[in-house]
Structure 1
Amino acid sequence: MNTQTYSCIGIDIGKTNFHVIGLGADGAVSVRSKHHRGGVVAALVKLDAQCFAMEACGGAHDLARRLRGLGREVRLLVPADVRAFVRTQKNDYNDAQAIAEAALRPTVRTVPIKSVEQQDVQLLHRARQRLVRQRTALINQIRAMLLEAGLTAGKGRKVLRRALPILLEDPGNDLSARRRALLASWREEWQSIEKTIAQLESELHNEARNDPRCARLMTIPGVGVLIATALVAAIGDASEFRHGRDLAAWLGLVPRQHSTGGRARLLSISKQGNTYLRWLFVHGARSAREHLDRSQHEWGPWLDELEQRLHPNKATVALANKLARIAWAVLRHGVVYREIDPRQKGLSSSASG
């Protein structure tokens, strides 16, 4: 067994092969090796290192859990931060060395290691998202085929669902036998997709019902089962974020900067971070804007003033930013959202036990 102590071990994760670089106490490369997926854990535990570092990706969490279970310290790094440490040409060993060097810098951001349960919930969301896209594509194809036959249905998925049986049974329309048979098969496919989506959503509802963190998040206006379960699966208790604005920035809901010479210039939102979560928060904010009773809720005057000076879409994003910050407070401090009496002036949204 190698008795040398390494300051950090950088691991470049691949589909089959893993490239490893070990840095000694002086920062020089002391070990350079390549391992197959089946034997990488056994090879890594033989190395006496202060920490093991990897870029955060889908396959990193499983390996990180295995190493941590064996008593090793593991750091998952943000890939964008590692890129600056890659020297000369890009290859697997240079990537592993860049990971090891970046892990030794205190300013490089880390990603919390996800549990199996968190990844399972994320899989439910991804499966549902894929099916929703398939359903939308199928509905658009049905509408296009009907339009070619001179037939139209009103806006909305529910309207089309009610109209399909009538169109199929109407012998007086211009649908040919082939189109009628194809439309019937598409209708069955649509029903199958809807059934699977309902099953996935039922699992997400059960997850939200059994997780107290999700229950606390759903006390926030505009936050439902999808946002609550997706956010908990992505960030857990939000301990990696020091402030609510850090979470909003991670979601890409803050202005992008292009400042120089002491002159600050703010552009449109950065759209960095988790695209799916940002999409959910924006839709949650849009729902809150449309359905919130502004005469009774503390956000009413703020929203009214916001919409007077901003485009509705910008107001929606501003509210999504607000929701993200409140969600951070709810998760970080283990509290529930508390609505403030609108008659109390000078107070903003808060979370309280």
Structure 2
Amino acid sequence: MKTEIAVLGIDLGKNSCSLAGLDGTGAVIKRRRMRPETVVTFTKELPPCVIAMEACCGAHHLARLLAAQGHDVRLMSPEYVRPYVKAQKNDDRDAEAIAEAATRPTMRFVSMKTEEQLDMQTLHRARDRLVGERTALINQLRAILLERGVTVPQGRSKLERSLIEMFDGDEAEPPATLTPRLRALIADMRAEWRELDRRITAFEDEFVARTREDEAARRLISIPGIGVMNATALIAAIGNGETFSRGRDLAAWLGLVPRQITTGGRPRLVGISKRGNKYLRKLLIHGARAALPSLLTSSTPLGG
């Protein structure tokens, strides 16, 4: 009688994937290496089983295809799989470790993202990249001026006003220390800055439009400090249907749980763990900073 695969571990790669199949007792009964596009064809011939993968790039797309075939797809964080890797690390042992980790009763699994969630997540990543490019450009502009003896106060708006006073209008007075070549370079950098502003604004307008169409996002933005950016990022990460039974579950998922140390035999809470979603945590902190000044002076339960 042919032994059927009970758990299939897949170690995803750009050019090839390693597969390890376990039977009901946990013994490895099949090892294969194939191209990513061949995996779907291979699993189509298998009876329904547990298929495990690390939640990495491409995992959610493949997971949806395998789930449509009737398989029980389980995605896990790579840091939870690492303890199950035996001896020297290679692709075959990684696939075996993934399959073994998926059978653990205490394992935490990652929810499968929909195409809409991945689209929103990609838009946030693209916007964040543009914001980083704009910040680098602004810092370089300030450094160029500083090298020529022109000190500009910190802040994007202050730099923008200073450049307008120096180069725009009939009464503009460019610093004498700036050569014609440097003035032309600064003009090019300002044009690049304006283009980055336009592209970032286009992303933000799209987030606003999507928030208006999504009921969950409309409810989220009613919370102080949760604006359009936070609402769309939360839905991209968590989804509309997934809920947390307690507030501390969400805090742990975001990495906002204080670390605990023991001093003199007594436990003491110190800084947050910072192990969760870094991008979401950054947005939530900025949202709180923007909301707190007005909340502290209001007559709401959060304020004074």
- Bin for the TM-score computed over the shorter chain: over 0.9
Whether the aligned pair in 2 keeps the contact of 1:16 and 1:36 (CA below 8 Å) is yes
Q: Which runs of 5+ in 2 are unaligned?
A: none
Q: Deviations over 1:280-325 (max 9, x none)?
A: 1111112222221544110124xxxxxxxxxxxxxxxxxxxxxxxx
Deviation, 1:106, is 1.9
Change in 2 beyond 3 A, CA 1:172/1:44:
closer
* Distance of aligned partners of 1:46 and 1:262 in 2 relative to their CA distance in 1, 3 Å threshold: farther
- Tell me the secondary structure at the aligned position of residue 54 of structure 1: strand
SS in 2 for 1:5: coil
Superposed, 1:259-270 pairs within 5 Å as 264-270=267-273
The CA deviation string for residues 51-107 of structure 1, in whole angstroms up to 9 with x for no partner, is 111011121001001111222221101222211211122111111111111111121
Task: Encode CA deviations 1:208-252: one digit per residue, 9 max, x unaligned.
Answer: 111111110001001101110001000113636442211101111
Q: Pick one of 282, 287, 290 that aligns with 1:284.
A: 287
Which residue in the other structure is 1:80 paired with?
Answer: 79
Query: Partner of 1:25: helix, strand, or coil?
Result: coil
The whole-number CA distance in structure 2 between the counterparts of 1:77 and 1:177 is 57
Task: Report sequence identity in percent.
Answer: 50
Whether the 8 Å contact between 2:166 and 2:175 is mirrored in structure 1 is: no
Match of 1:207 among 204, 207, 210: 210
Tell me, yes or no, if the aligned pair for 1:135 and 1:190 is still in contact at 8 Å: yes
| CA RMSD of superposed structures (Å) | 2.1
Q: What amino acid is aligned across from residue 230 of structure 2 in structure 1?
A: I
In the alignment, what sits opposite 1:34? 33
In the TM superposition, residue 279 of structure 1 has moved relative to its aligned partner by 0.7
The alpha-carbon deviation at position 49 of structure 1 amounts to 4.2
Cα deviations across residues 173-199 of structure 1 (Å, max 9, x unaligned)?
Answer: 322101100110001010111111011
Which deviates more, 219-228 or 167-176?
A: 167-176
1: CA distance between counterparts of 2:87 and 2:130? 43
With structure 1 as the length reference, what TM-score do the two structures score? 0.80
Cα 1:272–1:172, aligned 2, differ >3 Å: closer, same or farther? closer
C-alpha separation between the residues in 1 aligned to 2:243 and 2:109?
8
Higher mean Cα deviation, 153-162 or 80-89?
A: 153-162
Indicate conservation of the 8 Å contact 1:11/1:20, yes or no.
Answer: yes
Please state how far the C-alpha of 1:258 moved relative to its aligned partner: 4.2
SS of the residue 1:257 aligns to: strand
Alpha-carbon distance change, 172 to 80 in structure 1, aligned in 2, over 3 angstroms? closer
The residue number in structure 1 matching 2:57 is 58
TM (normalized to structure 2)?
0.92
Residue in structure 2 matched with residue 226 of structure 1 by the alignment: 229
CA distance in 2, matches of 1:3, 1:65: 28
Q: 1:231 to 1:172 in 2, by over 3 A?
A: closer
Taking the aligned partners of 1:27 and 1:258, their CA distance within structure 2 comes to: 38
Work out whether residues 296 and 302 of structure 2, in 8 Å CA contact, stay in contact via their aligned partners in 1: no
- Counterpart CA distance in 2 for 1:90 and 1:230 is 35
- The one-letter code sitting in structure 1 at the alignment partner of 2:214 is D
Letter in 2 for 1:129: D
The one-letter code of the counterpart of 2:155 is: G
What is the deviation of 1:3? 6.1
How far the C-alpha of 1:155 sits from its partner, in A, is 3.6
* Change in 2 beyond 3 A, CA 1:64/1:298: same
Aligned to 1:321: none
**Contact 1:3–1:48, Cα closer than 8 Å, also in 2:** no
Matching of residues 315-330 of structure 1 within 5 Å? none
**Equivalences, count:** 300
Determine the C-alpha separation between the residues in 1 that align with 2:274 and 2:27. Answer: 38
Letter in 1 for 2:226: V
Q: Secondary structure at the match of 2:267?
A: coil
- Label 1:173 to 1:299 Cα distance change in 2 as closer, same or farther (>3 A): same
The whole-number CA distance in structure 2 between the counterparts of 1:216 and 1:101 is: 40
Distance 2:2 2:268 in 1: 53
Aligned to 1:145: 144
How far apart, in 1, do the equivalents of 2:72 and 2:14 lie? 23
Aligned to 2:68: 69
